[in-house]
Chain A
């Protein structure tokens, strides 16, 4: 099939960007979206032009590198998949596909479709850890975890940090990402010692970069891992609890 691509090209962070149109006359419907871009890039290289820069790594929906805005939808039209898992059979012969990088003030464009998502790393660094005793390996299954808690934590842990939730949000809020990272640790016994400090610091760090949630629910629909906004509710409840719990440790300095 024949596809016309309208792609955002921007040579560097400070440079002015613009859309350029590329024709891909022989696209197989078994190709993934990234393979389509590879094909276009092969053409560009042959013509001696600069290829389109876009992130990718695993190409199987587990690393979170590849997200772009495809026809106004983060990761494109199929639900619960990352850009690398989007196949061209979702499109029709002769389609025009518009591709744009994530847009958020905290996600500056590095080049073309590549944005800097290091703000996510800063959020995780602030509290996304658990403390463990070093020494000899603990016995397996020494710490019992309720099945429901491990299932829910696993759902949250599915977040690949792609940034589609921020990209989808009209407020550029990172609530879905942060709440998934929090729930992942806060639901498990291993995460309890730092739980209330973690909630406070990670929410505060998030707010240094991103907007505030107005409960549209766009993030949940965009998320390739189908993380639900129920995790955001849990984060909101935990945040106010953290204010009580952290205050109760009379006169004690907070860890970290």
Chain B
């Protein structure tokens, strides 16, 4: 005998009403950005730019191992990039402006999507057993803000020279000496290491994820994408963490 398991009676149910209305815009780029899929595109594209920046920043800084002269020369080169097409430091400022824009859009889309998701979600009373989500993907919302705070600290320390983030001996233009003086403080070295681990996790999920958001993936390369993500994350963590460790160990001084 079949038991009655469906709620009986009322069959006149209305469909669930929409939870939100999206503001449509006539300007297609704006319209695209107001959609969640569009924001994910923006996140992925700014993400690519920021990954490129982080990687070249790390590679450039490897010159610290070539000694003070080479390193300071590299710092000076950055200011003279594309001279004489642009006057001195102008190209550097263009790059900085671009980076700021990328950060702004990356963060803005992240915040608005996170808010959308919190509204769309209802939590389970029993323990949810996650099968595919990994530590990196589940902590994006935490590693993101950690990286932002660290970025501000890092700029205050080695670019603006604002105490207490920077050392008392900070001197503009003395990139090598500033870096060594800063990393000789074990707490600061610790901050750099922890922040770069967070960055590594963020980049691991981000690098894997951006292909999906842009829709440029190919099932044949899905495994390769995992390796690529691991490679990018590992390169950043190993490269960037090596600097404070090298200073603390006395390899760079």
Q: Is the CB of A216 within 8 A of B133?
A: yes
Residues in chain B within 8 A of chain A (CB atoms): 1-7, 13, 15-16, 18-22, 28, 31-32, 35-41, 113, 116-117, 119-133, 137-138, 140, 205, 208-209, 211-217, 219, 222
Q: Is the CB of B119 within 8 A of A100?
A: no
Q: Is the CB of B121 within 8 A of A216?
A: no
Chain B residues positioned under 8 Å from A216 (CB to CB): 130, 132-133, 137-138
Q: Is the CB of B216 within 8 A of A233?
A: yes
Is A91 in contact with chain B by the CB < 8 A criterion?
no
Q: Is the CB of B122 within 8 A of A56?
A: no
Is A29 in contact with chain B by the CB < 8 A criterion?
no
Say which one of A108-116, A127-135, A140-148, A187-195 lies at the interface with B: A108-116
1/0 per residue, CB under 8 A from B, across A6-39: the answer is 1010000000000100000000000000000110
Docked CA distance A216–B22 (Å): 25
Docked CA distance A216–B136 (Å): 9
Docked CA distance A38–B216 (Å): 47
Chain A residues positioned under 8 Å from B129 (CB to CB): 71-73
Q: Is the CB of A214 within 8 A of B209?
A: yes
Is A1 in contact with chain B by the CB < 8 A criterion?
no
Docked CA distance A8–B124 (Å): 11
Q: How many A-B residue pairs have CB under 8 A?
A: 192
Q: Is the CB of A19 within 8 A of B125?
A: yes
Is A80 in contact with chain B by the CB < 8 A criterion?
no
Contact of A98 among B126, B214, B216 (CB under 8 A): B126
- Interface residue count for A (Cβ, 8 Å)? 70
Given contacts A73-B129, A105-B122, whether A209 and B19 have CB atoms under 8 Å apart is yes
Is A2 in contact with chain B by the CB < 8 A criterion?
no
Given contacts A170-B138, A217-B132, A228-B219, whether A207 and B35 have CB atoms under 8 Å apart is yes
- Closest chain A residue to B140, Cβ basis: A214
Docked CA distance A111–B19 (Å): 21
Docked CA distance A208–B140 (Å): 24
Docked CA distance A100–B32 (Å): 37
Q: Is the CB of A233 within 8 A of B217?
A: yes
Q: Is the CB of B121 within 8 A of A71?
A: no
Docked CA distance A226–B138 (Å): 22
Is A4 in contact with chain B by the CB < 8 A criterion?
no
Q: In whole Å, how far is B180's beta carbon from the nearest beta carbon of chain A?
A: 40
Contact of B28 among A71, A73, A234, A243 (CB under 8 A): A243
Chain B residues positioned under 8 Å from A228 (CB to CB): 219
Docked CA distance A51–B208 (Å): 46
Q: Is the CB of A51 within 8 A of B5?
A: yes
1/0 per residue, CB under 8 A from B, across A222-251: the answer is 100000111011111111100100010000
Q: Is the CB of B16 within 8 A of A116?
A: yes
Docked CA distance A81–B138 (Å): 26
Q: Is the CB of A215 within 8 A of B16?
A: no
Q: Is the CB of A172 within 8 A of B121?
A: yes
Contact of A213 among B5, B16, B40 (CB under 8 A): B40
Is A92 in contact with chain B by the CB < 8 A criterion?
no
Among B1, B123, B125, B205, find the residue whose CB has the most chain A CB atoms closer than 10 A. B125
Contact of B16 among A119, A211, A229 (CB under 8 A): A119
Chain B residues positioned under 8 Å from A110 (CB to CB): 7, 13
Q: Is the CB of B6 within 8 A of A53?
A: yes
Q: In whole Å, how far is B170's beta carbon from the nearest beta carbon of chain A?
A: 39
- Closest chain B residue to A199, Cβ basis: B37
A–B Cβ pairs within 8 angstroms, 22 of them = A19-B125, A105-B19, A105-B121, A119-B15, A119-B16, A121-B15, A122-B18, A170-B117, A173-B120, A203-B35, A209-B18, A211-B116, A212-B117, A214-B137, A215-B208, A215-B213, A222-B131, A230-B219, A233-B212, A234-B215, A240-B215, A247-B28
With A72-B124, A72-B128, A170-B130 already in contact, 19 other A-B pairs whose C-beta atoms are closer than 8 Å: A38-B2, A41-B3, A53-B7, A103-B121, A103-B122, A105-B122, A107-B122, A209-B18, A209-B120, A211-B119, A211-B121, A213-B40, A213-B213, A214-B137, A215-B205, A233-B216, A237-B214, A243-B28, A247-B28
